[in-house]
Amino acid sequence: MGRERDPFAEAAAEARHRLVAALTAEGALPDPAWRAAFEEVPRHLFVPSYHVGVLGGYERLRRDDPDPEGRRRWLEGAYEDQPLGTLLRGDELVSSASQPSLMADMLHALDVRDGDTVLEIGAGSGYNAALLCHRLGDARVTTVDIDADIADAARAHLHEAGHHPVVVTGDGARGRPDRAPFDRIVATCAMPSVPAAWLAQCRPGACVVAPLSTGVVRLRVEDAEHAEGRFLPTSAYFVPLRGPGAAVSEPRTGGLPRRALDSDLFRFLLTLASGSLDPYEAYALWQREGRPARERYGVTVRGGRQWAWLDDPEGPYSWALGGAGRLS
C-alpha cells in the first residue's frame, strides 16, 4: 500500500521552488547536489505544526487548521527562510526546525562525499536528516535525540517523506558507538565544548560541524584526541544540547557598554569564553583586535584539552572551553 497522497503537494512544490530560487540567488546553494535536496525534500511534512514568535508569546500554525487561511499561512511559513519552533514545553522552546539558509551553510561546510556515513546530533523535526538521506542514502545516516518524543516524531516525519535512516533516542554527547566509525558529524544544538566521544567515533580525516557559542565551528579530525578548525562566518542560534554537563553558563554583563552588548560579534566572544575569560577582559580584547569577525576564531582539541583561540591556535589569545582557562 503506497503512502497517502499529500493534499498540499502541488502548492508546496511551488513554495519550495521559490525558497530554493531565493537561496540560490543569495549564494547559499552553490553545490547542485544540495540544491536538488532542498528542491525535492518537502519541508512542510516535517513541521505539521510550529510556533512563530509574536508580541508577548508565540502563535501556533498547523496543517490541520480548520480555517483555509490558517492552512495557507502554515504552508507558506514552512517555506520561508526562517527557524520554526516545533516543540514548546511551558514557555521553553525545546526543539526547532532551523533556518534553511543556515542549514545550507552547515551542510556545505560538512563537505560530504559519496559513500560517507554521517551522525547527526539533535534529530529535531527530521528535516535535516532527510536532506542528508537525499544526498547520501538512508543507510548512511544516523540521527540521535535525547528526547524520545522528538525522536519518535522525527522518525514519523521521515517515514512520511519516504526516508528511513536510523533514528535513535540517546544522549547526543555520547555519540552512537554501535554505528561508528563516521566520516562526518553534524550537530543541530548548541554546546559549550566538543564531546570527546565524537572524535573517538570518527575516522581520521573526518569533519565535525557544530554550534558553539553563537557560531558554527568546522573541525577536521586527525585522530581520537586531535581536531582543529575555524568558525564559519555566519551567526547561529540553536536550542542547547540537553544532557549531563551540557549547560552553557550565562556570562556576566553588568557594567559593559551598550555598544558592546548590542554587538552580535561581541556576544559571540563573550559566550565562547564564558567561565574562562573575564567579561571586561573580553571587551578589551575585542576592542584592541578590531572587533574580530567569527572566522578569525577557531577551536583546537588535543590530548584531552580543548581551547578556543583568536587567529592562531598557539597565539597570544586563547582560553579553555567549558571551564577555567587562560588569556595570555
First to last CA, the chain: 65
Give catalytic status of residue 125 as yes or no: no
Q: Residue 241 corresponds to which amino acid?
A: L
From the list 293, 250, 258, 310, the residue with the least C-alpha distance to 274 is 250
Integer Cα distance of 266 and 280 in angstroms: 11
Q: Of residues 98, 101, 193, 213, which has the active-site annotation?
A: 98
Q: For residues 140-160, b (16+ Cβ closer than 10 Å) or e, as one string? A: bbbbbbbbeebbebbbebbeb
Q: Kindly state the cell numbers that stand for 112.
A: 560530504
Cα–Cα distances in angstroms (integers) from residue 18 to residues 12, 134, 236, 257, in the given order: 10, 20, 23, 42
Q: Which residue has the cell 513541521?
A: 47
Question: Any residues with CB less than 8 A from the CB of 9 and at least 6 apart, and which?
Answer: 42
* DSSP symbol at 233: S
Q: Return the residue matching grid coordinates 569577525.
A: 293
Residue 124 amino acid letter: G
Q: Which of 248, 243, 219, 246 is nearest to 231 (CA)?
A: 219
Alpha carbons 77 and 84: distance in angstroms, whole number: 9
| Cα separations in angstroms, 248 against 208, 239, 244, 261, 275 | 20, 11, 11, 18, 9
| Separation between Cα atoms, residue 249 and residue 322, nearest integer Å | 9
The residue with cell 542549514 is 103
Question: Which positions are annotated as active-site residues?
Answer: 98
